[in-house]
Structure 1
Amino acid sequence: MAQSRSERVQYWRNRLLVSVRGRATVITVAFAALFLTVILVLGMLLVRDWLERREADKAERTTERITFDILRGQADVALTTRPDETGLVQIVSPNGRRVLAASPPARGKPPLASSDLRSGSLLVDRRACPASIPGCAWIFGLRVVNRSPWGPGVMVVSAEPLPSLLNVWGLPLSLVAVLLVLLALVAWWTWHTIGRAFAPIDRIRRELSDLDARDLRQRVFVPRTHGEIQALGETVNGTLQRLEEATDRERRFISDASHDLRNPIAGLHMQLEMALDEANDESRPLLRSALRDAERLNDIVIDLLELSRLDSRAPQPVEPVDLAEAARREVDRRGDGVRVTARLEPGVVVRANPVRIARVLGNLLSNAERHAESSVEVTVRRDGGTAVLQVLDDGHGIAPDQRERVFERFARLTESRERDPQGTGLGLPIAREIAEIYGGTLTIADSERGACFVMRLPLAPDGG
């Protein structure tokens, strides 16, 4: 679990910090964060100033109205609140210590601008956050120098509460929330847009990874974007075209050379056999050795010709093949060397070319006989809708990390070279490719001793 979490963290780290898509998103979000922060801070300052100015104007108008009413001798109606006046109004003593009169919302509260009054200020116009009211307010006050019902020098003070966004944390937190939402939208839009722009590249990559090295006729998708991605697709297809042509030339050369070599080798083989029949005792060992070399050369040519046919995917006629019968015939052809036993379930029928199936059986049995100590076991059985052929020897086996390597062309393990220096390393690759052509697999399974080759082919529908 810990390893899986670590792998996920590493995956997303690479996606965000290493991939082009991730880096572009991170850089875009970083620049957007810087730009939006500046814009939002400036906007916050402008909004704050506008709201404060609006409330300051309201407080000033209220104070001026009340002062004017007092000067006209209408003190009894001066503190009456109008519908458009939402603030607090106080008439404060000249020394700022007592509230002489107040509007209903301000009654019972201490003086709002006591410090300014004690200093003898004639005018108060500032933002304040007294403890007697929630939040902050804009305070505007005028000193009435002439006589008033409360005596000379009183201060008319009006306080308009500022909107909650203008308190210490409200507006900054609101702007941070807006900034995070905007950055999330920028990140999503950038990631989504770049992902859509790179979608054709991902498709080209997937199609390239799915290409079969033995069938280069496939081509990748070419988006009609009239840009670099379209040029990339066209270049890849052009490269595949040239690679296909080069591979076709190589296959034709191998096929033609194999065909041309078979007749001289067959003639050489026949002449060596005739010479061996007439040879004396001194030359006979040399002729036998030359005959074995000719046979090996002929086997190499046959293998190369078969590989050329497999690579070209040349169509071969298929028919129902009884896998058990084919295995029995191949076992009966074996000599008196290693003991070969068979456990064959009848009626295991597949659709394939009988010559190629016989080739697979021959290659697997020959390989098993080369590596077996004393015996080889061949098994044919059904497994659901699959025909299973198993060839097991009692040799030293193949290490798990080497099991795929034996299916590489011309690859030979050290033990194989020691037991059969004349081998070509083509038998097992040919057997696997034939199995794959008919929709099957050829693998090496675990076994207590020796190597266990297992071929699986789809059963023929309705027994053939």
Structure 2
Amino acid sequence: MTTERRDRVRRWRNRLLFSVRGRATVLTAAVSALILVLVFVLVMLLARDWATNRVARKSERTAERIAFDVSTGAQRQALTVKPDEAPLVQVVSPDGTVEAASKAAEGRPAFAQPRLKRNVLLIDERACPASLDGCVWVFGLRLRTSPWGEGVMVMAASPLPTPLDVWLLPVGTAFILAVLLALITWWTWYTLGRALVPVDRLRAELADVGARGLDRRVTVPRTEGEMQALTETVNATLARLEEASNRERRFVSDASHDLRNPIAGLYMRLEVALDEPDDYPWKPMVRAAMADVQRLSDIVMDLLELSRLDARTPATVEPVDLAELARRELALSGGQVPIETRLEPGVVVAANTVRLGRVLANLLNNAERHAESRIRVTVARDDGEAVVEVLDDGSGVPEKSRERVFERFARLPESRDRDPHGTGLGLPIAREIAEIYGGSLRVADSPRGARFVLRLPLA
């Protein structure tokens, strides 16, 4: 079985066993099957009773007609039966001797020997004599007088139907009930699917809200029912979430803007102090303070960028040649670790140059922190997409932590050791920017080190 077929089987199994629609359909089908089996058994019992009663009435009518003819002298040695009557007729004396018989019963012993010996007046029972191939229904009347003496019994017997004789009835009934079960199952699956269409539509609209922003709302169906109440509650919840998110973004944005000016002023004053000609002993402390101020400025800029990304603030979209952008960012990097490049020209995407430059800068900074001896940067096309890879030869990212590195403020132990003052915002910002332009950023497998793969749709 191919992987695609196994996945399809697994998806259908999960839909049948774990979804509301599947479980309701399976339960309905099971209950319906049980009811239809009981109906089948009841129909078979009723059919058996009807066939038995029909044969019994046939034997009774035949015996009564023969007895009447015998008592009036119309029947003598040869017993004649009509085509619609029981074919097996016997006139039996009290000692069990067959005095006369129809053509089909000639040469056969009495059908109900034990009952004759008890001198019963009426026989109406099922019998399976050894002289016959199957069971029959026997009806007998004892006559006071007859041409064969007193106390003889006129017995008529009709063969009971066997399963082979009536095979069409159970097969036909089973087929009809199977078709009915299939229709019940299909109708349940179909109607539940139609009933869950508003839920699927709500799920799709909520997914769109998650992708495009909290300012969107789901469609409210005017059904005056549960779905309308649910969608109104969802919209009210989205409104509260949007308000809370806007307050948070405004706080981060305002705080970042307010902090930028005093940080810039402080940095400028520290630079002026360092420009003093004398080599004062406090200058090393000023240089350390400048590094801290620069780091604080980077944190504020990261928070401001996150605020813009969360708000989906639009930025100018233009054709960006990734090879040229990579060369520009490589020229601006510190160059502490040798960098190998393989940049395919003409790989163009539609995005904002500044934001994509920030993505590459964050990936390069991350690689420089963890690389041992080299970094490799690749730009290429792959199946209608632009692919940028940044690979270092460091210790790599454990597989279980590959998604955690894209969480805001999350830092792995090795990252803390190499850069204790980092914020853990570079990679989350890079992934946010990639997803805004319809792409992705992930950590892929590599023989050694960390391999970050950025994919964007080609322009």
- Please confirm whether the aligned pair reaches a TM-score higher than 0.5, indicating the same fold: yes
RMSD: 3.8
Q: What letter is aligned with 2:59? A: A
2:235 maps to 237
Calculate the TM-score normalised by the size of structure 2: 0.84
Distance in 1 of aligned mates of 2:14 and 2:348: 53
Structure 1 299/224 Cα, relative in aligned 2: closer, same or farther at 3 Å? same
* In the alignment, structure 1 residue 64 sits paired with structure 2 residue 70: no
2:362 maps to 363
Partner of 2:150, secondary structure, is: coil
The 10-residue stretch of structure 1 (341-350 or 265-274) with the greater mean CA deviation from structure 2: 341-350
5+ residue gaps, structure 2: none
2:84 maps to 84
Structure 1 26/286 Cα, relative in aligned 2: closer, same or farther at 3 Å? same
Report if aligned partners of 1:135, 1:167 keep a CA contact under 8 Å in 2.
no
Report if aligned partners of 2:347, 2:386 keep a CA contact under 8 Å in 1.
yes
Identical pairs, percent: 62
- In the TM superposition, what are the counterparts of 1:220-259 in structure 2 within 5 Å? 220=218, 225-259=223-257
Q: 1:157 deviation in Å? A: 0.7
Distance in 1 of aligned mates of 2:23 and 2:456: 48
Q: What letter is aligned with 1:246? A: A
- In the TM superposition, what are the counterparts of 1:194-273 in structure 2 within 5 Å? 194-205=192-203, 208=206, 212=210, 215-220=213-218, 225-273=223-271
Report if aligned partners of 2:440, 2:455 keep a CA contact under 8 Å in 1.
yes
Distance in 2 of aligned mates of 1:50 and 1:276: 115
Structure 1 147/397 Cα, relative in aligned 2: closer, same or farther at 3 Å? closer
Distance in 2 of aligned mates of 1:313 and 1:207: 18
Q: 1:414 deviation in Å? A: 1.0
Calculate the TM-score normalised by the size of structure 1: 0.83
Q: What letter is aligned with 1:107? A: E
Task: Render the CA deviation track for 1:73-96: whole Å, top value 9, x for unaligned.
Answer: 222497222243144211123212
The 10-residue stretch of structure 1 (314-323 or 123-132) with the greater mean CA deviation from structure 2: 123-132
Q: What letter is aligned with 1:157? A: M
Report if aligned partners of 1:88, 1:160 keep a CA contact under 8 Å in 2.
yes
Distance in 2 of aligned mates of 1:385 and 1:34: 55
Q: 1:218 deviation in Å? A: 4.5
2:405 maps to 406
Q: What letter is aligned with 1:72? A: T
Distance in 2 of aligned mates of 1:259 and 1:418: 31
The 10-residue stretch of structure 1 (122-131 or 378-387) with the greater mean CA deviation from structure 2: 378-387
Task: Render the CA deviation track for 1:327-372: whole Å, top value 9, x for unaligned.
Answer: 2222222335333343333333322211112212221222122222
Task: Render the CA deviation track for 1:273-307: whole Å, top value 9, x for unaligned.
Answer: 12232375222122222211211111111111111
Q: 1:158 deviation in Å? A: 1.0
Q: What letter is aligned with 2:92? A: V
2:313 maps to 314
1:442 maps to 441
Distance in 1 of aligned mates of 2:455 and 2:341: 17
Partner of 2:275, secondary structure, is: helix
Report if aligned partners of 1:364, 1:391 keep a CA contact under 8 Å in 2.
yes
Structure 1 355/34 Cα, relative in aligned 2: closer, same or farther at 3 Å? closer
Distance in 2 of aligned mates of 1:31 and 1:261: 69
Q: What letter is aligned with 2:265? A: G
1:299 maps to 298
The alignment covers a number of residue pairs equal to 455
Q: 1:38 deviation in Å? A: 6.8
Distance in 2 of aligned mates of 1:55 and 1:223: 64
Report if aligned partners of 2:77, 2:100 keep a CA contact under 8 Å in 1.
no
Q: 1:168 deviation in Å? A: 12
Report if aligned partners of 2:78, 2:100 keep a CA contact under 8 Å in 1.
no
Partner of 1:124, secondary structure, is: strand
Structure 1 103/362 Cα, relative in aligned 2: closer, same or farther at 3 Å? same
Structure 1 57/362 Cα, relative in aligned 2: closer, same or farther at 3 Å? closer
Structure 1 347/52 Cα, relative in aligned 2: closer, same or farther at 3 Å? closer
Distance in 2 of aligned mates of 1:318 and 1:10: 39
1:332 maps to 331
5+ residue gaps, structure 1: none
Partner of 1:212, secondary structure, is: helix
Task: Render the CA deviation track for 1:107-130: whole Å, top value 9, x for unaligned.
Answer: 233211222212222221223333
